Amino acid sequence: MRKLIVHNIVSLDGYITGPGNNVMLLPMGDFFDAYCAERLGSADTLLLGKNSYDMFRGFWPGVVDMPEATEDQKEISRRDNEIQKVVVSDSITEADTAPWSDTTRIVRRKEAHEQIAELKQGDGGDIIMFGSRTLWNDLLQAGLVDELHLMVGPVVLGGGTTAFAEGEVPPLTLIDTRRSEGSDNLLLRYAVGNS
């Protein structure tokens, strides 16, 4: 059975975006990029909601060719371009998936739980989620998320979008912590209690 792993960066006060939905207020940096590249390296499916999918496909495809991009950023771009993607949305169409049309499958929201449960039963690497707060919170509450990897950045945003939506969160068990020299971020990896 494949694992569904959610990875996000969060502020000390629990926000995944700052005021005005500004994600750039979070201290991503080299450690965050390296861990994203690592997670993509062990995955063979990228699961996203529509907003994150649109943001990713608008940014990542060309990063591999940018001279100023770091090696980890180029690896994220390469993997994003190659990996199979599942986007959960009721409004997206195949015409909205370029330049990733050949590697994207659209799942409608009412079918999401069933389709993702089937994905998890298949063979292959991890299923990884970045961003996609509405979707991963829904899947977490539905018992479909296996691990939650939160990179905590040393910033207090005081407002924005909280990491967790309203509703009951299953028990979480800390399975690992990681630091990286030169970064003040801390990675916390949790197993979800019902996984």
As a whole-number percent, the residues of the chain with pLDDT over 70 amount to 99
* Chain segment 137-159, per-residue pLDDT in tens: 999 999 999 999 999 999 999 99
pLDDT of residue 168: 87
Could you tell me the pLDDT band of residue 195, with boundaries at 50, 70 and 90? very low
Residue 194 has pLDDT above 70, yes or no: no
Q: What's the whole-model pTM score?
A: 0.94
DSSP the chain: ---EEEEEEEETTSEEEBGGGBGGGS--HHHHHHHHHHHHHTEEEEEEEHHHHHHHHHHGGGGGG-TTS-HHHHHHHHHHHHSEEEEE-SS--GGG-TTSGGGEEEE-GGGHHHHHHHHHHSSSSEEEEES-HHHHHHHHHTT---EEEEEEES---SSSEESS-SSPPPPEEEEEEE--TT---EEEEEEETT-
